[in-house]
Amino acid sequence: MSKVKSPQEKKTASLNRDRRNVYGENAKSSRKNIPLSKQLGHQAARRAANQPLTQLVGNVEEDIAIATEAIVTTRTVELKRKSFRKRPDAPLKAVLERKRTGIWPKR
């Protein structure tokens, strides 16, 4: 069921609902930079996993294989933690407040 809103209520709802890109770069470049950053992160994870494994050739002792596996898992976990994460856009109300005062409002 629809609720009749006053113009002030509509404006407040719009300011809370609308979002703005505050990443700090050109908004159009994000279209290419986000996939590129994800790709580079995945490549780094694959490289970190493959480097210790390339040293294992032929028959390998079990304790060396286990140690190498532990190295691979720790490297991949560290890289996954440090990898690229897209930051969400900010509400328009917060962006306007930042422009007006110079500081981000508390959530």
Cβ atoms of residues 76 and 44 within 8 Å: no
Note the pLDDT tens digit of each residue in 3-20: 888 999 999 999 989 998
Q: By percentage, how much of the chain surpasses pLDDT 90?
A: 29
Summarize the confidence of residues 96-106 as an average pLDDT: 87
Distance of alpha carbon 94 from alpha carbon 102, whole angstroms: 11
Q: Where are the domains of the chain?
A: 24-101
